[in-house]
Structure 1
Amino acid sequence: MKKLSQKTLNKSFITWFYGNLTCFSQEHMQTFGYLCAMLPIIEELYDKQEDRKSAMQTYTAFFNTEPQVGSLVVGMTAGLEEAKANNQPIDGEAINGIRAGLMGPLAGIGDSMIVGTLIPILLGIGLGLSGGGSPLGAIFYIVVWNVLMWFGMKFAYFKGYELGGRAVEILVGEKAQAIRDSIIMIGTIVIGAVAASWININTALMLPGGGALQKTLDGIYPKFLSAAAVIFCWWLMSKKNISPTMVMLLLVVIAFVGVLIGFFNPGLSY
């Protein structure tokens, strides 16, 4: 019976950890990074060159998901490839079907949990530590992010290898939808909290009667302009498909024009 060694599994994981975006393009996305991660697995399981070529063809198909949580798929297919090499009823088509079926669910979970929740939390802490130009914030983010990703991705990889095909039901079954909905809700709350804490937009405009518009807005809806700016940016990116870079440039233009016409005061806006 063929059994993958710990050394080979570690090599496969490290290749995915550092190279999941290898030769990244809009046509292939993470395909080549995935293929490189599976190369040590294939080399140990199959002795004949023809068998290795056939097995590697499985991993030339398009693949793209959230790379951190996606470590689970790489580990799982390593386990499935091991079962296939031991003549169990698993073929390349079945492995590809599982990969394709898990890309979407894992992308949703990973984007909500990592991009929408963890990264804003770490950045929020880092910004708090960077007051007065201190480098502690950047150091904190770099160290904590890499430590969390190393151990988190390694756990996901080896858990996928351990579960094999049983991971499919866990990730796309009935309970999976409830898990994804919960993570999305947490991510939304975190984004709202970060926006409320770090975005502070005020206006210097005076009303015809002599009162300050900002004071009137605070009496009706505190931080109204800040909330409006967040919703505006969300609308541009999600509904109009404008890139984040273009949105940032647009905000610079709006701020510049706003200061020129007296709507914003540089001393009051952040």
Structure 2
Amino acid sequence: MSNEQMQTAAYSKLTKADLKKVRWRWYFLGEASWNYEKMQGLGYCFSMMPVLRKLYPNQDELREALRTHMQYFNTHQEFCELILGADCAMEEQDGVQVLPAVASLKTGLMGPLAGIGDTLYGVIANTIFFSIGSYLALEGNPLGVIAYFIWALVRTFIRGQFIMLGYQQGTKIITTMSEKLGQLTAAASVLGITVVGALIASVVSANVSTVLTMGEVTMEVQSVLDQIMPKLIPVVLVAVLYWLLGKKGMTSFKAILLVLALGVVLGGTGILS
């Protein structure tokens, strides 16, 4: 056995079962104790308890570890498991002496990982899967109803790998994962924009029904617009709504009411169909 293997065996105290306990605690109860003072701090500490009890049989050291993990903490739910895994690896190797570095790790990663997680999961993935599901449902495909539930299962499986990845990578996760996550976010953004663009053209229906008449000559306005750019009206309507949602005081609910009102007025007067 090499010196490195002997050193690893000397401090290797955690098992996969221990990490699973941490993971499932965080999965079910990480947000349950959310509060305005510590945010996810209490949930993080609760999730780490199985590991802390195993690593710190000394009560004074356990209390110090608890004080460290009870501090303010807030990040994305899924990506927190990367931090939990790295934390377990660090404390397993160096014990109570590494707690200041663990606190720095949590502080340094919670912001960037929150931004990446919110972008990937909260915006891009939700947009893609809800858009696909909506389109399938409009086509009468029953998969449209369960599209998001399928994504939820995939999402649960993916996040289950994060804590093991964080544990295996340890502190190297700061450098090795940052570039890869950035590339993944960029690729997912392009995919999300593509899906939304396709959804506008296939789902949003707004046609100008006005017909201009000059003597015996008639001209359909919609035909002229289609020659300029097909689906021009739906694109304009979506662009205007997007612009309005960026204005102060405008909410999604108000935008929906505005669309309903315009639909009634323009449809009733025969301007749009």
Find the counterpart in structure 1 of residue 239 from structure 2: 231
Q: 1-side partners of 2:206 and 2:244: how far apart?
A: 18
Partner SS, residue 56 of structure 1: helix
Find the counterpart in structure 1 of residue 91 from structure 2: 81
Q: Unmatched 5+ residue regions in structure 1? A: none
Deviation of the 1:27 alpha carbon: 5.2
- Higher radius of gyration, 1 or 2: 2
The alignment status of 1:166 with 2:172, answered yes or no, reads yes
The alignment status of 1:31 with 2:41, answered yes or no, reads yes
1:152 to 145, 155, 158: 158
Deviation of the 1:179 alpha carbon: 4.8
Structure 1 residues 40, 185: CA separation in 2 closer, same or farther (over 3 Å shift)?
A: same
TM-score (norm 2): 0.77
Deviation of the 1:168 alpha carbon: 0.7
Deviation of the 1:106 alpha carbon: 2.1
Structure 1 residues 176, 8: CA separation in 2 closer, same or farther (over 3 Å shift)?
A: closer
Find the counterpart in structure 2 of residue 64 from structure 1: 74
Find the counterpart in structure 2 of residue 10 from structure 1: 20
Q: What is the number of equivalent residue pairs in this alignment?
A: 260
- The answer on whether the counterparts of 1:69 and 1:110 sit within 8 Å (CA) in structure 2 is yes
Deviation of the 1:9 alpha carbon: 1.0
1:206-240 Cα shifts (integer Å, max 9, x gaps): 66877554433323222223223333343344x43
Query: For the aligned residues, what is the CA RMSD?
Result: 3.3
- The answer on whether the counterparts of 2:18 and 2:50 sit within 8 Å (CA) in structure 1 is yes
Partner SS, residue 65 of structure 1: coil
Structure 1 residues 109, 222: CA separation in 2 closer, same or farther (over 3 Å shift)?
A: same
TM-score (norm 1): 0.77
Structure 1 residues 145, 227: CA separation in 2 closer, same or farther (over 3 Å shift)?
A: same
Instruction: State the identity as a percent.
Output: 28
Find the counterpart in structure 1 of residue 254 from structure 2: 249
Structure 1 residues 135, 9: CA separation in 2 closer, same or farther (over 3 Å shift)?
A: same
- The answer on whether the counterparts of 2:211 and 2:219 sit within 8 Å (CA) in structure 1 is yes
Query: How do residues 1-270 of structure 1 correspond to structure 2 at under 5 angstroms?
Result: 1=11, 3-25=13-35, 28-85=38-95, 90-91=98-99, 93-131=100-138, 136-142=143-149, 144-172=150-178, 177-204=182-209, 211-237=219-245, 239-240=246-247, 246-262=251-267, 268=273
1:144-190 Cα shifts (integer Å, max 9, x gaps): 22321222011111111111101011234x66655544443343333
